[in-house]
C-alpha cells in the first residue's frame, strides 16, 4: 500500500520525502518496483498467450472487442483498451474489410412491394422479421451464388442456398429452407431488395401461400437491407477474402462451415450483446 502510494505520487513529492514520512526505505521501494514489473510482465505474457490462442481459434476473424468479450466470458478481468494494446504489441489484427459489388438486378418491370421495414431492424422475438439477399463467390470454374434468409431478432441465418445460377429458384429455395427450419410461421415480414428473383411470380406465390408479408427496399438504397449486407460483409471478409476455390464443392464446404458451424454457433454478434445467434435464441426460449 505504501509503495503503491509513493509510485502514484512521485510527481508530487520527492522519493526521499515520501520514504521518510511513510517510514520505508529506498531499497525496499526499488525492490517492490522490480517485483511489480516482473509480475506485470508475467501477467502480460499469460494474457498474450490467451489472446493469440483465441485469435487463432477464430481464424483471425476477431478484433479486440470480441477478443475482450471472450476473455471476460472465461473469467479474465480485462478491459478493451488493454487487449487492444496487447494485440498491437503482438502485431495481430482482424481480417480487414474489402468492398464487394452488388449482384441482384432491379431493372425490370415486375411489381414492387412497399418498404414495410423502413430500416427498423429491431425485433422482440424470433420470426417477426426476416431479411434476404443474394451475393456471389468466384471459383476457378465460374460464379457461385449464395442466397440467405436472416432472422432480425437473433441475426441467425435460418435459410440459405448455393447455386451456379442466380435465378428465382435460388431465392425460393432459400426461403423454403427458412420456412421448414422455423416450422412455417405466419405473418412474418420478409424483406429483400427489388431484385427480379424476389419480384418473380414464383417467389411472390411462395410468400402468399405461406401467409408471409413481403417488403422491399427503395431503389438503390443498400441501407434498407443493411443487416443482410452486413452478413455478406462478414462472410466475405472473414471467410472468403483471399480464398481461391478450385471447384464448387470446396467453396460450398467452406461457406457451409462458416454459416452453420461458425457464424450461427460460435461468432459473437455485437448487435445482440456479444452473444452468438444460437445463444441469443436459446435465451429467448428459456425466458418465454
pLDDT tens per residue, range 102-148: 555 555 567 899 999 999 999 999 999 999 999 988 777 778 999 99
| Interstrand relation of 156-163 and 189-192 (parallel, antiparallel or unpaired) | unpaired
Q: Binning pLDDT at 50, 70 and 90, where does residue 44 land?
A: confident
Q: CA 172, CA 207: separation in Å to the nearest integer? A: 9
Which of 108, 100, 102, 101 has the alpha carbon at shortest distance from 203?
108
* pLDDT per position as a tens digit, 225-259: 999 999 999 998 888 877 778 888 888 999 999 99
Q: CA 212, CA 178: separation in Å to the nearest integer? A: 12
Beta pairing partners, 245: 139
| Residue 231 burial by Cβ neighbours in a 10 Å radius (0-12, 13-18, 19+) | buried
pLDDT exceeds 70 at position 158? yes
Q: CA 131, CA 215: separation in Å to the nearest integer? A: 9
Q: CA 1, CA 10: separation in Å to the nearest integer? A: 14
Q: At what angle do helices 201-209 and 168-181 cross, to 10 degrees?
A: 20
Query: Grid coordinates standing for 158?
Result: 435460418
Q: Binning pLDDT at 50, 70 and 90, where does residue 176 land?
A: very high
Query: How would you label 137-158 residue by residue, b for 16+ Cβ within 10 Å and e otherwise?
Result: bebeeeebbbbbbbbbbbbbbb
For residues 168-184, give the mean pLDDT.
Answer: 97
CA distances from 242 to 24, 237, 238 (A): 60, 9, 10
Query: Grid coordinates standing for 267?
Result: 461468432
Amino acid at each position: 500500500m505504501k509503495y503503491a502510494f509513493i509510485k502514484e505520487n512521485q510527481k508530487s513529492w520527492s522519493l526521499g520525502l515520501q520514504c521518510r514520512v511513510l517510514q520505508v526505505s529506498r531499497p525496499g521501494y526499488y525492490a517492490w518496483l522490480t517485483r511489480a514489473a516482473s509480475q506485470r510482465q508475467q501477467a502480460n505474457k499469460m494474457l498474450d498467450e490467451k489472446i493469440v490462442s483465441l485469435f487463432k481459434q477464430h481464424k483471425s476473424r476477431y478484433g479486440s472487442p470480441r477478443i475482450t468479450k471472450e476473455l471476460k466470458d472465461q473469467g479474465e478481468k480485462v478491459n478493451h483498451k488493454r487487449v487492444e494494446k496487447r494485440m498491437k504489441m503482438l502485431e495481430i489484427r482482424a481480417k480487414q474489410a474489402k468492398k464487394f459489388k452488388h449482384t441482384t438486378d432491379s431493372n425490370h418491370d415486375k411489381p414492387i412491394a412497399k418498404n414495410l421495414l423502413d430500416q427498423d431492424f429491431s425485433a422482440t422475438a424470433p420470426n417477426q422479421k426476416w431479411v434476404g439477399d443474394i451475393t456471389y463467390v468466384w471459383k476457378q470454374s465460374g460464379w457461385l451464388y449464395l442466397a440467405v434468409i436472416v432472422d432480425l431478432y437473433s441475426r441467425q441465418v435460418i435459410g440459405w442456398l448455393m447455386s451456379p445460377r442466380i435465378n428465382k429458384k435460388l431465392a425460393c429455395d432459400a426461403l423454403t429452407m427458412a420456412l421448414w427450419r422455423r416450422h412455417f410461421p405466419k405473418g412474418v415480414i420478409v424483406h429483400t431488395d427489388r431484385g427480379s428473383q424476389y419480384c418473380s411470380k414464383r417467389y411472390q406465390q411462395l410468400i402468399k401461400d405461406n401467409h408471409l408479408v413481403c417488403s422491399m427496399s427503395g431503389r438503390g438504397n443498400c441501407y434498407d437491407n443493411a443487416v443482410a449486407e452486413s452478413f455478406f460483409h462478414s462472410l466475405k471478409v472473414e471467410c472468403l477474402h483471399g480464398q481461391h476455390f478450385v471447384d464448387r464443392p470446396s467453396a460450398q464446404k467452406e461457406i457451409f462451415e462458416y454459416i452453420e458451424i461458425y457464424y450461427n454457433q460460435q461468432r459473437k454478434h455485437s448487435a445482440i450483446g456479444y452473444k452468438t445467434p444460437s445463444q441469443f435464441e436459446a435465451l429467448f426460449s428459456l425466458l418465454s
